[in-house]
Structure 1
Amino acid sequence: MVYDALIIGGSYAGLAAALPLARARRKLLVVDAGQRRNRFAEHSHGFLTQDGSKAADIAALARAQLMAYETVEWLDAMVLGAQRNGQDFQVDIEGGPARMAKRLVLALGVVDTLPEVPGLAQRWGQHVFHCPYCHGYELQQGRIGVLATSELSLHQALLLPDWGATTLLLNGSFEPDAQQRAQLQSRGVTIEATAVREITGHADVILEDGRVQAFDGLFIAPRSHVASPVAAALGCEFSEGPMGAVIQTDAMKATTVPGVFACGDAARFGGSVALAVGDGTLAGVAAHRSLVFGGH
Structure 2
Amino acid sequence: MEKNKNFEVIIIGGSYAGLSAAMALGRSLRNVLIIDSGKPCNIQTPHSHNFLTQDGKTPKEISAIAKQQVEQYNTVSFLNDLAINAQKTSLGFEIKTENGKTFTVKKIILATGVKDIMPSIKGFSACWGISVIHCPYCHGYEHKAVRTALIANGERAFHMAPLINNLTDDLTILTNGSMDFEESQLKKLKENNIEVIEKEITEIEHEKGHIRKILFKDGSKENFLTAYAAIPFEQHTAIPINLGCELTEQGHIKVDFFQQTTVDGIYACGDNSSPMRSVAYAVATGNIAGAMVNKELSSEQF
Equivalent position SS for 1:240: coil
How far did 1:14 drift? Answer: 0.5
- 1:22-54: CA deviation from partner (whole Å, max 9, x where unpaired): 001111000001121211101101111111101
- Larger CA deviation: 141-150 vs 126-135: 141-150
Equivalent position SS for 2:116: strand
Q: Distance in 1 between matches of 2:162 and 2:202?
A: 24
Matches within 5 A, 1:134-213: 134-148=138-152, 151-164=155-168, 165-201=170-206, 202-203=210-211, 204-213=213-222
- Pick one of 78, 96, 102 that aligns with 2:100: 96
- Larger CA deviation: 134-143 vs 14-23: 134-143
- Larger CA deviation: 83-92 vs 41-50: 83-92
Matches within 5 A, 1:51-130: 51-130=55-134
Q: Distance in 2 between matches of 1:46 and 1:62?
A: 17
- 1:68-97: CA deviation from partner (whole Å, max 9, x where unpaired): 111110001010111122122111112132
Alignment correspondent of 2:283: 277
Distance 1:287 1:279, change over 3 A: same
Distance 1:209 1:96, change over 3 A: closer
1:80/1:94 contact within 8 Å kept:
yes
2:178/2:199 contact within 8 Å kept:
no
How far did 1:264 drift? Answer: 0.7
- Pick one of 270, 292, 297 that aligns with 1:286: 292
Q: Distance in 2 between matches of 1:83 and 1:91?
A: 7
1:112/1:223 contact within 8 Å kept:
yes
Equivalent position SS for 1:271: coil
- Pick one of 241, 259, 267 that aligns with 1:253: 259
Equivalent position SS for 1:114: coil
1:7/1:30 contact within 8 Å kept:
yes
Count of aligned residue pairs for this structure pair: 292
Give the counterpart letter for 1:285 in structure 2.
A
Q: Distance in 2 between matches of 1:111 and 1:294?
A: 35
Q: Distance in 1 between matches of 2:183 and 2:243?
A: 46
- Pick one of 17, 20, 24 that aligns with 1:13: 17
Q: Distance in 1 between matches of 2:175 and 2:220?
A: 15
- 1:219-265: CA deviation from partner (whole Å, max 9, x where unpaired): 11011111001111111111112xxx011111111111111111111
Percent identity over the alignment? 36
How far did 1:209 drift? Answer: 3.5
Q: Distance in 1 between matches of 2:245 and 2:285?
A: 18
Q: CA RMSD in A?
A: 1.5
Q: Distance in 1 between matches of 2:74 and 2:204?
A: 49
2:154/2:180 contact within 8 Å kept:
no
Distance 1:102 1:191, change over 3 A: same
TM-score, structure 1 as length reference: 0.94
Q: Provide structure 1 residue ranges, at least 5 long, that are not aligned to the other structure.
A: none
Q: Distance in 2 between matches of 1:5 and 1:132?
A: 35
Q: Provide structure 2 residue ranges, at least 5 long, that are not aligned to the other structure.
A: none
Q: Distance in 2 between matches of 1:151 and 1:268?
A: 18
Give the counterpart letter for 1:107 in structure 2.
A
